[in-house]
Amino acid sequence: MFQDTQPAALGDEGGLDRFAEFRVDHPRERLALLRELRDGSVAVNLNAPDGALLTATVWAVDDSAARLSFNVDARHAQLPNVVAAEEVVAVAYLDSVKLQFELHHLVLVHGVGGSALQAGMPAEIYRFQRRQAYRVRTPERGAPLARLRHPSLPDMQLALRVLDVSIGGCALLLPHDVPPLQPGTRLSEVRIELDADTRFPAALTLQHASSIGAPERGLRLGCEWAPLGGNAERALQRYIDQTQKRRRLLGAGGA
Protein backbone atom coordinates (compact mmCIF):
# COMPACT_ATOMS: atom_id res chain seq x y z
CA MET A 1 0.00 0.00 0.00
CA PHE A 2 1.02 3.65 -0.49
CA GLN A 3 3.65 2.77 -3.09
CA ASP A 4 3.22 5.87 -5.29
CA THR A 5 4.31 9.46 -4.93
CA GLN A 6 0.77 10.80 -4.46
CA PRO A 7 -0.28 11.87 -0.97
CA ALA A 8 -2.32 9.34 0.96
CA ALA A 9 -5.79 10.52 1.97
CA LEU A 10 -5.35 11.14 5.69
CA GLY A 11 -8.72 12.68 6.44
CA ASP A 12 -10.24 12.06 9.84
CA GLU A 13 -13.15 9.67 10.22
CA GLY A 14 -15.57 10.72 12.92
CA GLY A 15 -12.91 12.92 14.50
CA LEU A 16 -10.41 10.03 14.65
CA ASP A 17 -7.13 9.81 12.73
CA ARG A 18 -7.35 6.39 11.10
CA PHE A 19 -3.61 6.50 10.39
CA ALA A 20 -2.59 7.59 13.90
CA GLU A 21 -0.46 4.47 14.40
CA PHE A 22 1.78 5.57 11.50
CA ARG A 23 2.24 9.10 12.83
CA VAL A 24 5.64 10.10 14.18
CA ASP A 25 4.89 11.71 17.52
CA HIS A 26 8.36 12.21 18.99
CA PRO A 27 9.94 15.58 18.00
CA ARG A 28 13.44 14.12 18.01
CA GLU A 29 12.45 11.40 15.57
CA ARG A 30 10.75 13.90 13.27
CA LEU A 31 13.95 15.93 13.31
CA ALA A 32 16.02 12.83 12.52
CA LEU A 33 13.82 12.00 9.52
CA LEU A 34 14.09 15.53 8.13
CA ARG A 35 17.86 15.49 8.57
CA GLU A 36 18.00 12.17 6.76
CA LEU A 37 16.13 13.72 3.84
CA ARG A 38 18.60 16.62 3.86
CA ASP A 39 21.75 14.52 4.16
CA GLY A 40 20.68 12.14 1.40
CA SER A 41 19.51 14.91 -0.97
CA VAL A 42 16.30 12.91 -1.25
CA ALA A 43 13.74 14.09 -3.81
CA VAL A 44 10.65 15.54 -2.10
CA ASN A 45 7.42 16.04 -4.07
CA LEU A 46 5.54 19.15 -2.99
CA ASN A 47 1.84 18.78 -3.84
CA ALA A 48 -0.50 21.77 -3.87
CA PRO A 49 -4.29 21.32 -3.56
CA ASP A 50 -4.86 22.56 -7.14
CA GLY A 51 -2.68 19.75 -8.53
CA ALA A 52 0.51 21.76 -8.88
CA LEU A 53 3.57 19.59 -8.26
CA LEU A 54 7.16 20.62 -7.61
CA THR A 55 10.12 18.36 -6.84
CA ALA A 56 12.71 19.78 -4.44
CA THR A 57 15.38 18.72 -1.97
CA VAL A 58 15.80 19.73 1.65
CA TRP A 59 18.61 22.26 1.92
CA ALA A 60 18.48 23.18 5.62
CA VAL A 61 16.74 21.99 8.79
CA ASP A 62 16.71 24.83 11.34
CA ASP A 63 15.42 23.30 14.55
CA SER A 64 15.88 26.43 16.65
CA ALA A 65 13.81 28.56 14.26
CA ALA A 66 11.44 25.68 13.41
CA ARG A 67 11.98 26.25 9.69
CA LEU A 68 12.75 24.08 6.68
CA SER A 69 14.46 25.28 3.52
CA PHE A 70 14.16 23.54 0.14
CA ASN A 71 16.32 23.94 -2.94
CA VAL A 72 14.03 24.85 -5.83
CA ASP A 73 14.28 26.01 -9.43
CA ALA A 74 12.98 29.59 -9.47
CA ARG A 75 12.03 29.16 -13.14
CA HIS A 76 9.78 26.14 -12.55
CA ALA A 77 6.30 26.81 -13.96
CA GLN A 78 4.57 25.24 -10.93
CA LEU A 79 6.49 27.22 -8.32
CA PRO A 80 4.07 30.19 -8.05
CA ASN A 81 1.10 27.89 -7.43
CA VAL A 82 2.99 25.93 -4.78
CA VAL A 83 4.11 29.11 -2.99
CA ALA A 84 0.58 30.54 -3.09
CA ALA A 85 -1.01 27.42 -1.59
CA GLU A 86 -2.10 27.66 2.02
CA GLU A 87 -1.11 24.05 2.56
CA VAL A 88 1.32 21.83 0.65
CA VAL A 89 1.69 18.07 1.17
CA ALA A 90 5.26 16.76 0.93
CA VAL A 91 5.94 13.15 -0.07
CA ALA A 92 9.34 11.44 -0.09
CA TYR A 93 10.85 7.97 0.21
CA LEU A 94 13.59 6.77 2.54
CA ASP A 95 14.44 3.31 1.25
CA SER A 96 11.14 1.44 1.48
CA VAL A 97 9.40 3.91 3.79
CA LYS A 98 7.07 6.58 2.45
CA LEU A 99 7.11 9.85 4.39
CA GLN A 100 4.27 12.34 4.17
CA PHE A 101 3.90 15.67 5.96
CA GLU A 102 2.15 19.01 5.55
CA LEU A 103 3.90 22.33 5.04
CA HIS A 104 2.47 25.77 5.85
CA HIS A 105 3.50 29.42 5.44
CA LEU A 106 5.72 28.88 2.40
CA VAL A 107 7.99 31.76 1.44
CA LEU A 108 10.28 32.00 -1.61
CA VAL A 109 13.66 33.52 -0.75
CA HIS A 110 16.14 34.63 -3.41
CA GLY A 111 19.87 34.71 -2.73
CA VAL A 112 23.16 34.99 -4.57
CA GLY A 113 23.52 31.22 -4.77
CA GLY A 114 19.97 30.54 -5.93
CA SER A 115 16.44 30.35 -4.58
CA ALA A 116 15.09 28.57 -1.53
CA LEU A 117 11.57 27.75 -0.49
CA GLN A 118 11.08 28.06 3.25
CA ALA A 119 8.29 26.62 5.38
CA GLY A 120 7.49 25.97 8.99
CA MET A 121 8.66 22.72 10.53
CA PRO A 122 5.96 20.03 10.09
CA ALA A 123 4.04 19.24 13.25
CA GLU A 124 3.41 15.67 12.09
CA ILE A 125 5.11 13.16 9.82
CA TYR A 126 3.50 9.91 8.68
CA ARG A 127 5.55 6.85 7.81
CA PHE A 128 4.13 4.11 5.61
CA GLN A 129 5.93 0.84 4.96
CA ARG A 130 5.90 -0.35 1.36
CA ARG A 131 4.88 -3.91 0.59
CA GLN A 132 8.34 -4.87 -0.71
CA ALA A 133 10.09 -3.60 2.37
CA TYR A 134 13.48 -4.11 3.86
CA ARG A 135 13.43 -6.24 6.97
CA VAL A 136 13.87 -5.08 10.53
CA ARG A 137 15.86 -7.27 12.85
CA THR A 138 13.94 -8.27 15.93
CA PRO A 139 15.52 -7.50 19.31
CA GLU A 140 17.25 -10.41 21.00
CA ARG A 141 15.62 -9.54 24.28
CA GLY A 142 12.07 -10.83 24.51
CA ALA A 143 12.77 -13.70 22.09
CA PRO A 144 10.09 -13.20 19.38
CA LEU A 145 8.76 -16.62 18.42
CA ALA A 146 6.79 -18.47 15.77
CA ARG A 147 4.94 -21.44 17.25
CA LEU A 148 3.86 -24.25 14.92
CA ARG A 149 3.84 -27.99 14.32
CA HIS A 150 6.56 -29.51 12.16
CA PRO A 151 4.82 -30.11 8.79
CA SER A 152 6.39 -33.57 8.42
CA LEU A 153 6.08 -34.54 12.09
CA PRO A 154 2.76 -33.19 13.39
CA ASP A 155 3.50 -34.39 16.93
CA MET A 156 6.58 -32.16 17.07
CA GLN A 157 5.78 -28.72 18.47
CA LEU A 158 8.23 -26.01 17.40
CA ALA A 159 8.95 -22.59 18.87
CA LEU A 160 11.26 -20.96 16.33
CA ARG A 161 13.09 -17.72 16.95
CA VAL A 162 11.97 -14.89 14.64
CA LEU A 163 15.16 -13.30 13.33
CA ASP A 164 13.65 -10.46 11.32
CA VAL A 165 10.35 -9.34 9.84
CA SER A 166 8.96 -7.22 7.04
CA ILE A 167 5.52 -6.59 5.64
CA GLY A 168 6.29 -9.26 3.05
CA GLY A 169 7.69 -12.03 5.23
CA CYS A 170 9.99 -13.08 8.03
CA ALA A 171 13.06 -15.18 8.79
CA LEU A 172 13.01 -18.02 11.31
CA LEU A 173 15.86 -19.86 12.99
CA LEU A 174 15.61 -23.63 12.63
CA PRO A 175 17.86 -25.38 15.22
CA HIS A 176 20.37 -27.88 13.87
CA ASP A 177 18.72 -30.79 15.69
CA VAL A 178 15.29 -30.27 14.06
CA PRO A 179 14.50 -32.16 10.84
CA PRO A 180 14.99 -29.75 7.91
CA LEU A 181 12.20 -28.23 5.84
CA GLN A 182 12.08 -28.02 2.06
CA PRO A 183 11.59 -24.77 0.10
CA GLY A 184 8.00 -24.47 -1.05
CA THR A 185 6.64 -25.97 2.17
CA ARG A 186 3.56 -24.22 3.46
CA LEU A 187 3.51 -23.63 7.19
CA SER A 188 -0.06 -23.26 8.30
CA GLU A 189 -1.50 -22.45 11.70
CA VAL A 190 1.54 -20.52 12.83
CA ARG A 191 1.24 -18.40 15.95
CA ILE A 192 3.45 -15.29 15.73
CA GLU A 193 4.50 -13.75 19.05
CA LEU A 194 6.71 -10.71 18.45
CA ASP A 195 6.08 -8.98 21.77
CA ALA A 196 3.36 -8.73 24.41
CA ASP A 197 1.21 -6.54 22.14
CA THR A 198 1.92 -8.17 18.78
CA ARG A 199 0.54 -11.69 18.52
CA PHE A 200 -1.43 -13.03 15.60
CA PRO A 201 -2.11 -16.22 13.61
CA ALA A 202 -0.50 -16.55 10.20
CA ALA A 203 0.44 -18.92 7.41
CA LEU A 204 3.86 -18.93 5.77
CA THR A 205 5.48 -20.35 2.66
CA LEU A 206 9.14 -21.32 2.98
CA GLN A 207 11.08 -19.62 0.17
CA HIS A 208 14.65 -20.67 0.98
CA ALA A 209 16.89 -22.05 3.73
CA SER A 210 20.48 -21.01 4.31
CA SER A 211 23.16 -21.90 6.83
CA ILE A 212 24.04 -19.44 9.60
CA GLY A 213 27.79 -19.90 9.84
CA ALA A 214 28.69 -23.17 11.55
CA PRO A 215 26.23 -26.07 11.07
CA GLU A 216 25.47 -26.27 14.77
CA ARG A 217 23.98 -22.76 14.64
CA GLY A 218 21.08 -23.97 12.52
CA LEU A 219 19.36 -22.74 9.37
CA ARG A 220 17.82 -19.42 8.47
CA LEU A 221 14.38 -19.97 6.93
CA GLY A 222 13.24 -17.16 4.64
CA CYS A 223 9.45 -17.17 4.61
CA GLU A 224 6.70 -15.25 2.84
CA TRP A 225 3.43 -14.39 4.55
CA ALA A 226 0.23 -15.76 3.12
CA PRO A 227 -2.28 -12.87 2.91
CA LEU A 228 -2.71 -11.59 6.44
CA GLY A 229 -6.00 -10.50 7.91
CA GLY A 230 -6.52 -6.79 8.46
CA ASN A 231 -5.87 -6.90 12.20
CA ALA A 232 -2.75 -9.04 11.78
CA GLU A 233 -1.31 -6.81 9.06
CA ARG A 234 -1.93 -3.68 11.09
CA ALA A 235 -0.32 -5.28 14.15
CA LEU A 236 2.71 -6.26 12.07
CA GLN A 237 2.95 -2.79 10.52
CA ARG A 238 2.78 -1.24 13.97
CA TYR A 239 5.53 -3.53 15.26
CA ILE A 240 7.82 -2.71 12.32
CA ASP A 241 7.12 0.99 12.70
CA GLN A 242 7.83 1.00 16.44
CA THR A 243 11.03 -1.04 16.00
CA GLN A 244 12.30 1.42 13.39
CA LYS A 245 11.33 4.35 15.59
CA ARG A 246 13.31 3.01 18.53
CA ARG A 247 16.39 2.47 16.40
CA ARG A 248 16.09 5.88 14.77
CA LEU A 249 15.79 7.56 18.14
CA LEU A 250 18.86 5.74 19.41
CA GLY A 251 20.76 6.75 16.30
CA ALA A 252 19.66 10.37 16.62
CA GLY A 253 20.76 10.68 20.21
CA GLY A 254 24.00 12.35 19.26
CA ALA A 255 22.67 14.42 16.35
Q: Which CATH superfamily groups domain 136-232? A: predicted glycosyltransferase like domains (2.40.10.220)
Average model confidence (pLDDT) for the chain?
Answer: 84
How far is residue 133's CA from residue 136's CA, in Å, rounded to a whole number?
9
pLDDT at position 2: 36
CATH 2.40.10.220 placement within the chain = 136-232
Average pLDDT estimate for 89-103 = 86
Instruction: Mention every residue, 6+ apart, whose C-beta is less than 8 A from residue 30.
Output: 24, 121, 122, 124, 125
CATH 2.30.110.10 placement within the chain = 20-129
CATH 2.20.25.10, domain 20-129, yes or no: no
pTM for the whole thing? 0.53
Residue 5 has pLDDT above 70, yes or no: no
